[in-house]
Amino acid sequence: MAVTIPQFDPRVTVVNTLSGGVNTSDRVLLNMQGTQQARAAASLQKQFGSRVDAALAQFQDAGNSPIVDSLLRQQSDLAGRKARVTEAVTVVKQALAQFGYLNNHITYLRDQLDQLENGDLTAADVATNWDNKLRKINQLADAGAKILKDGKNYYPKNLIDTQSRSSFTTQTLYAPYNPQGDTYAIGGVFLGTDYYITEDGNGDFWNSDTGYAPSEEAVGTLSQYASYPSSPTGVNDSVDAITLDAFNRSTGAVTFTLSNATQVSGTVTRGGLGLLDAFLYGNFDTSVDPNAIDNARADLDKAEALLLNTQAQYRGDLTTLQSRVELFDTKIEGLSTDASNLMRNLRSDKEAKLLSAQLEYLVARFDFALLAGRGNSLIKTLVLAQDNAQPSTFDTVATGEAIAGARVNVLA
């Protein structure tokens, strides 16, 4: 059997065997190219990655500019003002809702007087119905309250009731008028009915609870106070047992006699609609007071005039408040549009920068890959030129042409 003896290849050496053939500079370059390119790629990604991240952060924060924040604060402030105006609207509406019923009660009392004059009702009947109606009028005034919320607290706001039976003071409603901070004030008008008598000499305070009786046809009581309401004297009398002696309606001077024959003189101070207990009209007994019916009618006319004037005032106030709501709506919508447009412009600018950074990164990666590919071609050309050359026929010219060609490609 023939034995084939392999030809000796001078490139097969111990060094080549141990180094994997890496015994020349070109092969060293080929072996290192992967590591170097990986490092270069990582450096490129880090450089452009930070730029992209910065552009992305600016894009995400585009709506957090001082101008946008200022617009949003203004919008929030106007929204709060609008909310207070809207509350004021509900308060005025609640008050206006009582006027129809109040007018009906005035009409009812006027009809009572007509029936008395026509003989259809007795003076006692009219006196009882009159005092009952005072209670209902005060109930309507109390129903004018609207419950509002301030933080965690609730409180009533009422334009047509009083907070004091000794001064008849009322609440005032304040509402924002415009974005500049001006305020619109609506004064309360007491539309219940009440009075007190200041006794001559000692200044004692006489107060009747007829208009605040707990039930229908309950008889009121006139009570004396040395200091109202903390110091009652204990002297009191049922109003239907009191006799009217004299009453000057122009000055308020009054004299009456209690059931125990004690005579009291003082001055009447009216509150609200100004309607008085029936005993101050002589219980409508014309034998006691010939002008009782006329006096009662005059008081009803004044009460009706106050109702109509206040109703017209509150209707005008309501129109003004509703126009303020529309004004704030327009301002809020305008600020919202401005803020949205500004944020859109800011985001568009930041988005353009983000896209630009991303595009630059993509182009750089493409250029790097292209150059890396051309560099690889140079090294591989050197190796192929070496591998294809025979020891005895190594062509330095061909090798040079290969190297030159690869360099030309890289520079192309």
Q: What pLDDT shows up at residue 149?
A: 84
Positions of E strands within 211-262: 221-227, 231-238, 243-247, 253-257
pLDDT over threshold 90, residue 393: no
Q: Is residue 271 part of a domain?
A: no
pLDDT over threshold 60, residue 311: yes
Q: Average of pLDDT values for 191-198?
A: 98
Q: Is residue 362 part of a domain?
A: yes
Contacts of 49 (CB under 8 A, 6+ apart): 361
Q: Is residue 33 part of a domain?
A: yes
Compute φ and ψ for 137, nearest 5 degrees.
-60, -45
Local structure of 80: helix, strand or coil: helix
Q: How many structural domains are present in the chain?
A: 1
pLDDT in tens, 266-307: 999 999 999 999 999 999 999 888 999 999 999 999 999 999
Q: Cβ(267)–Cβ(288) under 8 Å? A: no
Q: Is residue 303 part of a domain?
A: no
Q: Cβ(255)–Cβ(246) under 8 Å? A: yes
Q: Is residue 369 part of a domain?
A: yes
pLDDT over threshold 60, residue 175: yes
pLDDT over threshold 70, residue 254: yes
Q: The pTM is what?
A: 0.68
Provide the residue range defining the domain that includes 391: 21-59+354-411
pLDDT over threshold 70, residue 53: no
pLDDT band at 344 (very low <50, low <70, confident <90, very high): low
Q: Is residue 391 part of a domain?
A: yes
From residue 111, give the alpha-carbon distance in Å to each of 115, 273, 285, 286, 305: 6, 18, 17, 17, 17
